[in-house]
A and B are shown apart, each in its own frame.
Chain A
Amino acid sequence: MTERPADPLSLWNTQSPRLHLGTQRFTTSDEDLEFLARHGVTSMAVNRMPVHRDIGWDAQLLGSQREKAAGYGVDLEMVALPIASLNEAGGSIPAYMLGDFSAGEREIDVVQKMVRAAGDAGITSIKYYLCEMENQRTESHPPGRGNTRYSTFDLSKADAETPRFDQPLTAEQNWERVTFFLDGLFRLPPRPRCGWPVTPVIHGCHRASRASTGFSGDLMDFSSS
């Protein structure tokens, strides 16, 4: 497998850092883009782009959305993979996460097309969410500041009894399926211009987020994998 450079676009710079305000919760509607521009938001990730089973994403559509956002001073720099739309049978969980690697290969093929489309549209990052179990939350009590509701999790009150899958899933099986997807994704060859079409950004349910031994354990393992 081709070695992936950590910073193919040479963006990291301690002398002139480029960190900036962004969002992942808005769309490219005029109303949303005006709202973002009004509040000084200069970058965005878009979570929902139309998906075509044969071509994945439409690169022209991605490009036009990026241009539209740019017209408001917002860089559409990231798109979320539609993980919940990959299963040909219509379920919200991809076949590879259910252990069907044959159908999973076809899902990966579609994802590779999406990655290429993003690269062609000049979108430098994609993100993906591989946690097939929900981010479980428990009751939020008491209310937060100004009677707001805080997203809350208390393990002692969590539902550990309700089955999420037809068959019990071990951690090893889960990681095997995640690895299958990532290995397939990274079969995509690099491109000369930037070394890699896009930067894959993992979100949720990686080893770091299940760390049960604290910083010195799982996080270190993840960083070397």
Chain B
Amino acid sequence: MAESVRNPAQEVPQILRYFGERKKIHLIHFRNIFGGQCDFQEVWPDEGVMDMYVLMKTLRDVGYPHMVVPDHAPASAAPGSREQSFAFQFGYIRAMLQAVESVAGGS
């Protein structure tokens, strides 16, 4: 989704809210990018142009009930690179889920 728009940081939360309020989202690839439409790189979730907390909070706010999954994991030649990449992304997503729940519970 992020790579389809010119300004992902601004537009993706609006897109999530628009489709989420209509219950039209069934799977989330939770990954960040540098750049935007027609010129982008898929990067680690904590270093791209989008605020991933805002995205997760938007999903929670609209009552999204399905999976949030890592997409492509950045690869390297290091042994175990794939597993390391996924472990990092799983931890990142779990922490983000706990963060939005914690803030929502305290508000």
Residues of A within 8 A of B (CB): 6-7, 11-15, 17-25, 35, 39-41, 43-45, 77-78, 125, 127, 140, 144-156, 199-201, 203, 208-212, 214-215, 219-220, 223
Contacts and interface: CB of A to CB of B under 8 A. Distances in A.
Nearest to B14: A215
A167 B64 CA distance: 42
Classify chain B's interface size: 35 or more
A20 B4 contact: no
B88 to A, nearest CB: 10
Nearest to A147: B76
Contacts of B19: 219, 223
17 contacts: A11-B65, A13-B63, A14-B62, A18-B66, A19-B65, A20-B66, A22-B67, A25-B70, A40-B91, A41-B90, A77-B67, A125-B26, A147-B78, A153-B38, A155-B38, A209-B3, A210-B4
A14 B74 CA distance: 33
Main SS of chain A's interface residues? mixed
Ranked 7 nearest A-B pairs via Cβ? A22-B67, A11-B65, A14-B63, A155-B38, A201-B26, A18-B65, A148-B74
Contact of A45 (B18, B61, B67): B67
Contact of A152 (B41, B68, B70, B75): B41
Nearest to A16: B63
Given A19-B60, A20-B97, A22-B68, A148 B91 contact: no
